[in-house]
Structure 1
Amino acid sequence: MMSASSFSLPKHTLTCYFVRHGERIDHIDDDWVHTATTPYDPPLTRHGIVQAHRTGALISQLEQQASIAHKTEYLVLTSPFLRCVQTAQAIHEGFQQQQNKYALDIEPWRISVEPGLCEMMSENYFSEQVPDSIIDKSTRDIHSKRLCCEMVYSEDYEQIRKTLPRYSEEFQDMMARFVSTLDIVVSRMVDMRMKRRAMGAEDPRVVVVFVTHGAGIGSLLWATTLKPGSNDVDYCSLTRAELVSRKTLLPLTQFGTSRVPAYSWTVGPKAYSKHIASL
């Protein structure tokens, strides 16, 4: 039940998709890490790229099924790790190919690197601190069109975090990081749409695609359902979340200090992966 200080938001204020990256090379090739220059940052396999293509096509289908007669802006926020940036690129390609079947004219997707969505900086995953240089590298690769060449880098998106979490990050701290990252993104998008409406300006619907890691998906599921999510969801599993309301009028808590989300959502599908089951 919402408290008296909570307030509902207009329908279709914000739609979010949460996607885990596709299959990574070091999980199928044990020798890769021994010759890699950046063993902490593996790329996708070809299979992982196909998984992400399928996921982009599924997002397109879900958008069509929603039958929302409203111009839509798409923003992709990706973890700085290479496997996530490559997943974002393939998602967009799969989405576009599906849209072409419908002969729909879609505005170019925007993309930004968000370090708040990075992998849990845990000793379970890494032997030492991953350098912050991967943030600059992924940003440069997108700017230069080496990656995500058909998307536009979002110059007006301000990164919530400028650095990676410090090693070794605790699980509860990682959860709080994802809750805060989602809350801040949502708050910005809601404020933007409210300002547009107040000015009488064109107010497109907003869709944000979050591309992140298994533990991150589990945390985003917690933030939107208040139920624990698995940290080992399938590669390219997809969750769709529709914003419903703000739970309180109080300001957002300091970044990374609370695992209590500020917003309510309707969620479904949740960690869906049947679209890649036949691959």
Structure 2
Amino acid sequence: MFPSKSQTKFYQQHVLVMRHGDRLDHADPTWENTADRPWDPPLHQSGLSRAFQTGRAFRTLLPFPIHRVFVSPFLRCVQTASEVVTALCAVDDDPNAKSSRDVVSIDPSKVKVSIEYGLFERLNTTAIRADMVPKDGVFRFDVPKIESTLPSGTLDRTVEPVYKEMPQWEETTIGTQRRQEQTIKALADKYPSENLLLITHWDGVLVSVSSFKEDTRVTNVDYCGYSKLRRPVSWTNQTFTAGSFEVLTKSGLTGVTYNAN
């Protein structure tokens, strides 16, 4: 994994930051009327399919492999991760497959997955309506149960998250964006020899562009829209040095639209 003491190794690290797939509550607004957790909707069937197809595109079209996936614990993000990872790890993939249900077998050694609280949704009323917030203001997640829904063999239990606790309700928008930027940088620094996929919410994708591309304003992030970041990394004596992230995303081409001032 590391070059010998007498060598310096140079390469490019890639980080993709992706929004979850289509939400069920946006396709069926009546769903929330009987939901136990109206603030944590699952994916609509179209979202499952979109996530799977995006994962397949990553596997077949990207000029580099994805080694590790980090995901927000919200159900829509975890379901997105399950579809994407299944597509990335599929063995003898049927070209007609529309979702993970159509995949017979996977090779779980290809990608490892972990939950990361730093990729959390923005916790204020600009993202979650006040009438949907738990009465005590605490957004509870059964992490072991969430992890059990990920594709078998892909979960990495050894990973220590960047953020060990979830944000508090009424987090500011600036606070959310600062957290997302710190998480992107910290995860890249923890795994500088690996290419990462971060599955998060609108804000995470927005930050991944606006924080690393000067004077840029993101105007839209489609479901499963994603940004592409790249930075140079060098290893010497088991110590790495990394350059600044470059945003490779062209406006409108991967479901992210932005204006450069």
TM-score (normalizing by structure 1): 0.71
Matches of 1:162 and 1:270, distance apart in 2 = 33
Aligned residue runs from structure 1 range 140-159, under 5 A: 140-142=145-147, 145=148, 147-159=149-161
Measure how far apart 1:227 and its partner are: 4.4
Q: How many corresponding residue pairs?
A: 225
- Given candidates 228, 246, 253, the residue that maps to 1:265 is 246
* Partner Cα separation in structure 2 for residue 90 and residue 105 of structure 1: 14
User: 2: CA distance between counterparts of 1:272 and 1:97?
Assistant: 25
- Closer, same or farther in 2 for the Cα pair 1:116/1:270, shift >3 Å? farther
The answer for the alignment partner of 2:116 in structure 1 is: 114
Match in the other structure for 1:199: none
Q: Which amino acid aligns with 1:141?
A: I
Q: Per the alignment, do residues 11 and 139 of structure 1 end up closer, same or farther by CA in structure 2, a change over 3 Å counting?
A: same
**Is residue 2:206 matched to residue 1:218?**
yes
Please show how residues 268-279 of structure 1 align to structure 2 within 5 Å.
268=249, 272-273=253-254
Q: Percent identity?
A: 22
* Alpha carbons of structure 1 residues 207 and 100: separation in structure 2 relative to 1, 3 Å: farther
Which is helix-richer, 1 or 2?
1
Deviations 1:174-200 (A, max 9, x none): 11111111111122123xx4xxxxxxx
Q: Distance in 2 between matches of 1:99 and 1:219?
A: 36
Query: What does the per-residue CA deviation read over 1:13-42, in whole Å, with 9 as the maximum and x for residues that have no partner?
Result: x21111100000111111111100111100
Structure 1 distance, partners of 2:159, 2:10, is 23
1:124 aligns with 2:126: yes
User: Are the aligned partners of 2:89 and 2:110 in contact in 1 as well (CA < 8 Å)?
Assistant: no
SS in 2 for 1:11: strand
**Counterpart of 1:233?**
221
Q: What pairs with 1:1-279 in structure 2 (closer than 5 Å)?
A: 10-12=10-12, 14-63=13-62, 66=63, 74-97=67-90, 100=93, 107-126=109-128, 127=130, 128=133, 131-134=138-141, 137-142=142-147, 145=148, 147-190=149-192, 193=193, 206-230=194-218, 232-244=220-232, 263-268=244-249, 272-273=253-254
In the alignment, residue 220 of structure 1 is paired with which amino acid?
S
Helix, strand or coil at the partner of 1:166:
coil
Q: Is 1:218–1:228's contact at 8 Å kept on the other side of the alignment?
A: no
**TM-superposed deviation, 1:107:** 2.9
Deviations 1:41-92 (A, max 9, x none): 00000000011011101111233xx2x6xxx661110001000000001111
In structure 2, C-alpha distance between the alignment counterparts of 1:209 and 1:116, rounded to whole Å: 14
Structure 1 stretch 125-134 or stretch 173-182: which is displaced more? 125-134
Amino acid at match of 1:117: L
Contact 1:25 1:32 in 2 (8 A): yes
**Mapped contact 1:26–1:42 kept (Cα < 8 A):** yes
The answer as to whether partners of 1:183 and 1:263 remain within 8 angstroms in 2 is no
Q: C-alpha distance in 2, partners of 1:55/1:151?
A: 21
Structure 2 counterpart of 1:33, which letter? E
1:153 partner SS? coil
Cα distance in 1 for partners of 2:91, 2:249 equals 21
Distance in structure 2 (CA, Å) of the matches to 1:11 and 1:227: 28
Partner SS state of residue 31, structure 1: helix
C-alpha separation in 2, matches of 1:84 and 1:263? 27
Unaligned runs of 5+ in 2: 1-8, 96-105, 235-242, 256-261
Give TM-score scaled by structure 2 length: 0.76
Q: Distance in 2 between matches of 1:59 and 1:97?
A: 12
Pair 1:228–1:73, CA change in 2 (3 A): closer
